[in-house]
Chain A
Amino acid sequence: MSLRVEGLTLTFDSVPVLDGIDLEVAEGEVVVLLGPSGCGKSTLLRAIAGLERPSAGRVWWGDEDLTVAATHQRGMGLMFQDHALFPHRDVAGNVEFGLRVAGMPADQRAHRVRRALDLVGLPGFGDRRVDTLSGGEAQRVALARSLAAGPRLLMLDEPLGSLDRALRERLTAELGTLLRRLGQAVVHVTHDHDEAFALADRIAVMGGGRLVRVGTPAEVWADPRSVHAARCLGHENLVDLDGDGGCPLGRLGDGPGTVLVRGDRLVVRPGPPAGGLVGEVRRTSIRGGRTLLDLDVAGVAIRAWWDGPATVGDRVELVLADGAVVPLVG
Chain B
Amino acid sequence: MGPVRWAARVLCVVVPAAFLGVFFLYPVGTILVRGLGADGLDRLLSLPGRASFRGVAWFTAWQATVSTLLTVVVALPGAHLLARRRFRGRALFRAATTVPFVLPTVVVGGAFLALFDRFGLVDGPFRATRTVWAILAAHVFFNVAVVLRTVGGFWEGLDHRPEEQARVLGATPWQAFRWVTLPRLWPSIAAASSIVFLFCFTSFGVILILGGPTRATLETEVWRHAVFRGDLASATALAVVQLAAVLAMVVVANRLQRRRAVGQRPVRRKVPRAGARLLAGNLGLLGAVLGLPVAVLVERSLATDGGWSLRNYAALADRVNLLPVSAIEALQNSLLFAVVATGLAVVVGGLASLVVVHGRRAASRAFDLGMMLPLGASAVTLGFGMLIALDEPPLDLRSSRWLVPVAHALVGVPFVMRTVVPTLRGIDSRLREAAATLGASPARVRREVDLPIAARALAVGAGFSFAVSLGEFGATSFLPRNPDRLTAPLALFRLLGTPGETLRGQAMALAVVLMVLTAASVLAIEGWGRRGSVRGDL
Contacts and interface: CB of A to CB of B under 8 A. Distances in A.
A76 interface: yes
A86 B433 contact: no
B438 A98 contact: yes
Contact of A78 (B434, B440, B448, B452): B434
A291 interface: no
Interface in A263-280: none
Contacts of A82: 430
A56 B445 CA distance: 28
A192 B517 CA distance: 58
A149 B438 contact: yes
B436 A98 contact: no
A84 B438 CA distance: 12
B453 A87 contact: yes
Contact of B439 (A46, A80, A84, A102): A102
Given A51-B433, A78-B434, A88 B439 contact: no
A145 interface: yes
A97 interface: yes
A50 B438 CA distance: 12
A2 interface: no
Contacts of A75: 439
B444 interface: yes
A88 B435 contact: no
Contact of A77 (B428, B435, B438): B438
B435 A97 contact: yes
Contact of A72 (B428, B431, B441, B532): B441
A101 interface: yes
Contact of B437 (A49, A87, A88): A49
Kindly state the interface size class of chain B when it binds its partner.
20 to 34
A75 B439 CA distance: 7
A70 interface: yes
B433 to A, nearest CB: 5
Kindly state the interface size class of chain A when it binds its partner.
20 to 34
Contacts of A151: 437
Max chain B Cβ within 10 angstroms of own Cβ: one of A82, A89, A97: A97
Interface in B436-480: 436-442, 444-445, 448-449, 452-453, 456
A72 B436 CA distance: 5
A237 B431 CA distance: 43
B453 A78 contact: no
B532 to A, nearest CB: 6
B438 A88 contact: no
Nearest to B532: A88
Interface in A86-111: 86-89, 97-98, 101-102
Interface string A57-77: 000000000000011111111
B131 interface: no
A98 B428 contact: no
A145 B437 CA distance: 11
Contacts of B440: 72, 97, 101
Given A72-B439, A78-B434, A80-B430, A101 B444 contact: yes
Contact of B433 (A74, A84, A101, A145): A84
B431 A77 contact: no
A98 B448 CA distance: 11
B533 interface: yes
Interface string A34-61: 0000000000001001110000000000
Contacts, number: 77
Contacts of B437: 49, 51, 71-72, 74, 76-78, 146, 151
B532 A145 contact: no
Contacts of B442: 70, 72
A51 B436 contact: yes
Contacts of B428: 84
A70 B430 contact: no
A251 to B, nearest CB: 54
Query: What is the interface of chain B mostly: helix, strand, loop, or mixed?
Result: helix
Max chain B Cβ within 10 angstroms of own Cβ: one of A71, A77, A89: A71
A51 B456 CA distance: 28
B436 A86 contact: no
Interface in B81-136: none
Nearest to A100: B448
A49 B438 CA distance: 10
B453 A97 contact: no
A98 B430 contact: no
Nearest to A82: B430
Contacts of B532: 87-88
Nearest to B441: A72
Contact of B431 (A46, A84, A146): A84
B448 A97 contact: yes
A151 B449 CA distance: 20
Nearest to B434: A84
B434 A80 contact: yes
A87 B535 CA distance: 13
A71 B453 CA distance: 22
A4 B85 CA distance: 57
Max chain B Cβ within 10 angstroms of own Cβ: one of A49, A73, A84, A151: A84
A88 B453 contact: yes
Interface string A156-198: 0000000000000000000000000000000000000000000
Contacts of B441: 70, 72, 101
A97 B449 CA distance: 11
Max chain B Cβ within 10 angstroms of own Cβ: one of A70, A88, A102: A88
B448 to A, nearest CB: 7
A74 B433 CA distance: 13
Contact of A88 (B433, B434, B444, B533): B533
A71 B434 contact: no
A308 B431 CA distance: 53
A84 B430 contact: yes
Contacts of A76: 437
Contacts of A102: 439
A49 B433 CA distance: 9
A151 B438 CA distance: 8
A88 B436 contact: no
Contacts of A84: 428, 430-431, 433-434
Contacts of B448: 97, 101
Interface string B405-430: 00000000000000000000000101
A183 to B, nearest CB: 20
A188 to B, nearest CB: 15
Given A87-B532, A87-B533, A88-B452, A98 B439 contact: yes
Contacts of A146: 437-438
A288 to B, nearest CB: 35
A71 B449 contact: no
27 contacts: A46-B433, A49-B433, A49-B436, A50-B436, A51-B433, A51-B436, A72-B437, A72-B438, A72-B444, A72-B445, A74-B437, A76-B437, A80-B430, A84-B430, A86-B435, A87-B431, A88-B452, A88-B533, A97-B435, A97-B438, A97-B440, A98-B439, A101-B440, A101-B441, A101-B444, A145-B438, A149-B439
Closest 10 CB pairs of A and B: A98-B438, A71-B436, A84-B430, A78-B437, A84-B434, A101-B440, A88-B452, A87-B533, A72-B436, A149-B438
Interface of B: 428, 430-431, 433-442, 444-445, 448-449, 452-453, 456, 532-533
Given A49-B436, A75-B439, 5 more contacts: A72-B438, A84-B430, A86-B434, A101-B441, A149-B439
